[in-house]
């Protein structure tokens, strides 16, 4: 086993690798960017080295700086984590040339699987079923349209260098093909510097089922499957193992196809073979096809760890240090069921817009595994993936594991940035999902129900009012809680998202109070150091830069209203579109003098590796455009101003 390794990554995966290394007695070196100076992975590692600026290209994507840090600190091996340079064969070559070990597959194996088209050709040769389609070199538009026709609509256009669903377009009919091809190619060129695409049959009722494989360069085994069908725009949201409805026959067929794929390239280390499955008639061994291989550890590897009881990072370190596979196929057992939900800083109501912010409060329940790279007080910065944590639960049955997931999501507490927590909790209670009826279209189909708002939030307002009253630290005392010398009725003014709310509080008994909000009356009893609403599950109130009320997966945040605050609505009021986050202006779609409709796209912003279209809040005429294509902007920068709305004279 190695004595010291360097982790060329950040966030939760760096922390997760450090944890296993420590258990194995291996010392760790973290690398970090200037933006991550105080990050959790830096704190957890034994030694940390700064490798450059905040932008990934100035730090986590700099192979030379990473290898220099490795040599300087005297490590024997480098673990790449996932993302960043994890599937970059040039790094593998450079690591080897520096006399170090890369904890992962060979450069050749990564190259063989690097491009979707070449990988498909290789798999076809190895006898692994691949999706019917065209994955040749001819990129002529008319020719590709012909191929789409031959394959039969609907088809999927995919960037051969693709990842994360980018450069991918579903095309329903021949009429849409040319446009879809153009936009897929543009996105691919921009994201991967390679605009080549392939065309695939779009599989009906598609399910994404992937098989975890492990090789030691000589032998290979599989560690069963994961179902990652719950996706939004081709990105995984909740993953599970095993796949619902999986049969022994189908698992056998998929497992041996995956092992065949791994052996075909003499694979060493952890890898994933992703298959697309036609689930329209249940799981059938003749209805799964190879999509691609990921030659690294996956984000969702913890569900496999939960159902096998194995530590995949331990296996990676052991195999990379020269050991043979720790277990043979027959010794790997499947136990129970596991789920993983990806908790993101993102604004679900704004179309899942990635968000930033300082985590005023972050806490996870104990009845789950929470893999995270951040703590209370940390920043979700615009530079990196806005994932906050992965919440993983395990149970003897799917039902139990899913109930545990719902509960863990309800009990997780994040304040300071918007998150998808409520959305995940709703998803974990989705009826079809509970029955195991999953496919990649489920979220899009039921989005309205999954993002529905709770009918009333008065209960939470009452809780916040009580907490505010109770808090001792309020200046000038008018709200210093009920006491012998304070009036028995008080009013607390709270502010939520710019709106003022008044909660009237009355002490009816030393241990009982009433909170009323516009006629709705709630009775609260004193319990411990806080108040509980009678007959209702406890909501947790956390005071951290305002009041955050957590109740059954919902969060409402309030500030005490300061009457001295000026009304700020005069500024924006729908006239000015502000940048919701820092980023780069990719396209400015309007110019001064132009008339726009409400909802009309104004400009395209690239932030956090994704494109976001900002739309007009109302109809009007563009008075001024403040930025142009290529401008780097900060959150809150004005982008486009509309002429003020005409005020009718009376």
**Which are the catalytic amino acids?**
296
DSSP states of 302-362: HHHHHHH---HHHHHHHHHTTPPPSS-GGG----SEEEEEEEE-EEGGGTSEE--EE-SEE
Compute the half-sphere exposure of residue 614: CA atoms within 13 Å on the CB side of its CA: 25
What's the closest the beta carbon of residue 618 comes to ligand ADP, in angstroms?
36
Nearer to ligand ADP, 81 or 162 (CB): 162
- Closest approach of ligand ADP to the CB of residue 229, in Å: 7
- Please say whether the beta carbons of 300 and 231 come within 8 A: no
User: At its nearest, how many Å lie between ligand ADP and the CB of residue 441?
Assistant: 9
What part of residues 440-469 is at the interface with ligand ADP (CB under 6 A)?
A: 440
Binding of ligand ADP at residue 266 (CB under 6 A)?
no
Return the number of the residue (59 or 229) whose C-beta is nearest ligand ADP: 229
Let me know: does 198 contact 258? Beta carbons within 8 Å: no
Q: Is 292 in the site for ligand ADP (CB under 6 A)?
A: yes
Q: Which residue has 């009320």 as its token pair?
A: 549
The string of DSSP codes covering 197-232 is: EEEEEPPSSEEEEEEEEEEESS-EEEEEEEEEEEEE
**First-to-last C-alpha distance (Å) of the chain:** 83
Report how far residue 334's alpha carbon sits from residue 344's, in angstroms, rounded to the nearest whole number.
Answer: 29
Residue among 168 and 258 whose Cβ is closer to ligand ADP = 168
Pick 70 or 130: Cβ nearer ligand ADP: 130
The yes or no reply on residue 239 touching ligand ADP (CB under 6 A) is no
Q: Does 234 bind ligand ADP (CB under 6 A)?
A: yes
**Does residue 305 bind ligand ADP (CB under 6 A)?**
no
Cβ atoms of 20 and 304 within 8 Å: the answer is no
CA pair distance 298, 241, nearest whole angstrom? 14
Where does residue 199 fall: left (phi above 0), alpha (psi -120 to 50 degrees), or beta otherwise? beta
Q: Which stretch binds ligand ADP (CB under 6 A): 23-31, 198-206, 378-386, 404-412?
A: 198-206
Site string for ligand ADP, 210-229 (x = CB under 6 A): --------------------
Note whether 114 binds ligand ADP by CB under 6 A.
no
The reply on whether position 168 binds ligand ADP by CB under 6 A is yes
Sheet containing 387-395: order of strands:
288-294, 268-278, 206-216, 220-232, 235-241, 337-344, 387-395, 369-372
Q: How far is the CB of 198 from ligand ADP (least distance, A)?
A: 10
Please list every residue from 28 through 67 that binds ligand ADP, using CB under 6 A: none
Burial class (CB in 10 A: 0-12, 13-18, 19+), 535: exposed
Kindly write out the interface string for residues 562-601 of this chain, putting x where it contacts ligand ADP by CB under 6 A and - elsewhere.
Answer: ----------------------------------------
* Helix, strand or coil, per DSSP, at residue 70: helix
Nearest residue (CB) to ligand ADP, 177 versus 202 = 202
Phi/psi at 408 (nearest 5 deg)? -65, -40
3-state secondary structure of 291: strand
187 is an interface residue for ligand ADP by CB under 6 A: no
| Binding window for ligand ADP (CB under 6 A); candidates: 154-162, 311-319, 566-574, 586-594 | 154-162
Closest C-alpha among 297, 285, 298 to residue 236 = 298
Residue 274 makes contact with ligand ADP by CB under 6 A = yes
**Residues 162, 255, 373, 580: which binds ligand ADP (CB under 6 A)?**
162
For residues 166 and 457, which CB has a smaller minimum distance to ligand ADP in the complex?
A: 166
| Residue 355 or 440 having the CB closest to ligand ADP | 440
Q: Which is nearer to ligand ADP, 158 or 361 (CB)?
A: 158
132 binds ligand ADP per the rule CB under 6 A: no
Is-contact 582 569, C-beta < 8 A? no
- Which of residues 32, 177, 202, 315 is near ligand ADP by CB under 6 A? 202
Q: Closest approach of Cβ 201 to ligand ADP, in Å?
A: 6
Please give the C-alpha separations between residue 487 and each of 465, 472, 477, 501, 599, in angstroms, as whole numbers. Answer: 16, 16, 12, 21, 50
Under rule CB under 6 A, residue 110 binds ligand ADP: no
Tell me, by CB under 6 A, how many residues bind ligand ADP. 22
Which tokens is 284 given? 């059938």
SS3 assignment, position 179: helix
Among 73, 86, 106, 231, binds ligand ADP (CB under 6 A): 231
With 0-12 CB in 10 A as exposed, 13-18 as middle and 19+ as buried, what is 326? middle
Report in angstroms how near the CB of residue 588 gets to ligand ADP at its nearest: 28
| Chain residues 412-441 in contact with ligand ADP, contact rule CB under 6 A | 440
Binding to ligand ADP by residue 243, rule CB under 6 A? no
Least separation in angstroms between residue 428's CB and ligand ADP is: 20
Which C-beta is closer to ligand ADP: that of 157 or that of 391? 157
Residue 493, SS3 per DSSP = strand
Q: Shortest distance, CB of residue 44 to ligand ADP, whole angstroms?
A: 30
Cβ neighbours for 484, distance < 8 A, ≥ 6 positions apart = none
Stretch that binds ligand ADP, among 158-166, 415-423, 607-615, 617-625 (CB under 6 A): 158-166
Query: What span, in angstroms and rounded, lies between the C-alpha atoms of 568 and 420?
Result: 28
Number of residues that this document lists for the chain: 650
DSSP characters for 614-633?
Answer: EE-SS-EEEEEE---TT-EE
Distance CA 326, CA 1 (A): 13
Instruction: Report the residue from 164, 285, 336, 574 that binds ligand ADP according to the rule CB under 6 A.
Output: 164
Under the binding rule (CB under 6 A), the answer on residue 156 touching ligand ADP is yes
- Closest CB to ligand ADP among 95 and 110? 110
Binding of ligand ADP by 276 (CB under 6 A):
yes
CA distance 414 to 420: 10
Exactly one of 129, 165, 481, 530 binds ligand ADP (CB under 6 A); that residue is 165
DSSP assigned state of 129: -
163 touches ligand ADP by CB under 6 A: yes
Please, are residues 168 and 155 in contact by the beta-carbon 8 Å criterion? no
Write the interaction track for ligand ADP spanning residues 511-540; mark x where CB under 6 A is met and - where it is not. Answer: ------------------------------
C-alpha to C-alpha distance for 323 and 457, rounded to whole angstroms: 57
List Cα–Cα distances, 33 to 51, 387, 389, 442, 619, in angstroms.
6, 17, 20, 38, 43
Q: Is 115 in the site for ligand ADP (CB under 6 A)?
A: no
The C-alpha angle 147, 151, 154, rounded to 5 degrees, equals: 110
Binding residues for ligand ADP, per CB under 6 A?
131, 156, 158, 162-166, 168, 200-203, 206, 208, 231, 234, 274, 276, 291-292, 440
């Amino acid at each position: 086993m190695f004595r010291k390794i360097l982790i060329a990554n950040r966030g939760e995966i760096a922390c997760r690798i450090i944890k296993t290394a420590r258990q194995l007695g291996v010392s760790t070196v973290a690398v970090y960017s200037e933006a991550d100076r105080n990050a959790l992975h830096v704190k957890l590692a034994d030694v940390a080295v700064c490798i450059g600026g905040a932008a990934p290209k100035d730090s986590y994507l700099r192979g030379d700086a990473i290898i220099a840090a490795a040599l300087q600190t005297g490590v024997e091996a480098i673990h790449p984590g996932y993302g960043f340079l994890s599937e970059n064969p040039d790094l593998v070559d450079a690591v080897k040339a520096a006399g170090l070990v890369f904890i992962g597959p060979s450069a050749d194996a990564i190259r063989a699987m690097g491009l979707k088209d070449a990988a498909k050709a290789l798999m076809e040769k190895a006898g692994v079923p691949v999706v019917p389609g065209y994955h040749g070199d001819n990129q002529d538009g008319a020719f590709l349209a012909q191929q789409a026709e031959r394959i039969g609509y609907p088809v999927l256009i995919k960037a051969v260098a693709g990842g994360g669903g980018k450069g991918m377009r579903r095309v329903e009919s021949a009429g849409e093909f040319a446009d879809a091809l153009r936009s897929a190619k543009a996105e691919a060129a921009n994201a991967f510097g390679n605009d080549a695409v392939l065309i695939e049959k779009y599989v009906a009722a598609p399910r994404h089922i992937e098989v975890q494989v492990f090789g030691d360069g000589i032998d290979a085994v599989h560690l069963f499957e994961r179902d990652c069908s719950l996706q939004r725009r081709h990105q995984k949201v909740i993953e599970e193992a095993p796949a619902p409805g999986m049969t022994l026959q189908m698992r056998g067929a998929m497992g041996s196809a995956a092992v065949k794929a791994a052996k075909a390239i003499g694979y060493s280390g952890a890898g994933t073979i992703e298959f697309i499955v036609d689930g329209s008639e249940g799981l059938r061994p003749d209805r799964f096809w190879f999509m691609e291989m990921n030659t690294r550890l996956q984000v969702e590897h913890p569900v496999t760890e939960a159902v096998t009881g194995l530590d995949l990072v331990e296996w990676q370190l052991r195999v990379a240090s020269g050991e043979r596979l720790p277990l043979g196929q027959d010794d790997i057992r499947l136990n129970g069921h596991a789920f993983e939900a990806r908790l993101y800083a993102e604004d679900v109501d704004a179309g899942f817009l990635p968000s930033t912010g300082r985590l005023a409060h972050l806490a996870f329940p104990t009845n789950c595994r929470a893999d995270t790279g951040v703590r209370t007080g940390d920043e979700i910065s615009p530079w990196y993936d806005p994932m906050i944590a992965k919440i993983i639960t395990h149970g003897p049955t799917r039902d139990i594991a899913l109930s545990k997931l719902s509960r863990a999501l309800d009990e997780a507490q994040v304040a300071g940035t918007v998150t998808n927590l409520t959305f995940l909790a709703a998803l974990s209670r989705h009826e079809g999902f509970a029955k195991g009826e999953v496919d990649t279209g489920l979220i899009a189909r039921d989005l309205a129900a999954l993002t529905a708002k709770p009918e009333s939030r008065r209960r939470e307002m009452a809780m916040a009012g009580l907490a505010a009253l109770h808090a001792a630290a309020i200046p000038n005392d008018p709200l210093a809680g009920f006491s012998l010398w304070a009036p028995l009725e008080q009013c607390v003014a709270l502010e939520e998202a710019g709106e003022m709310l008044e909660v009237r509080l009355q002490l009816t008994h030393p241990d009982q109070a009433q909170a009323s909000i516009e006629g709705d009356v709630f009775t609260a009893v004193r319990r411990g150091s806080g108040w509980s609403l009678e007959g209702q599950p406890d909501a947790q109130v956390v005071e951290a830069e305002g009041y955050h009320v957590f109740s059954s997966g919902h969060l409402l945040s309030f500030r005490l209203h300061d009457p001295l605050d000026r009304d700020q609505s005069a500024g924006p009021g729908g006239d000015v579109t502000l940048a919701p986050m820092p980023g780069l202006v990719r396209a400015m779609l309007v110019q001064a003098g132009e008339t726009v409709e409400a909802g009309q796209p104004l400009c395209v912003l690239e932030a956090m590796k994704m494109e976001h279209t900002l739309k007009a809040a109302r109809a009007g005429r563009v008075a001024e455009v403040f930025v142009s294509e290529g401008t780097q902007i900060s959150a809150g920068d004005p982008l486009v101003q509309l002429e003020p709305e005409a005020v009718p004279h009376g």
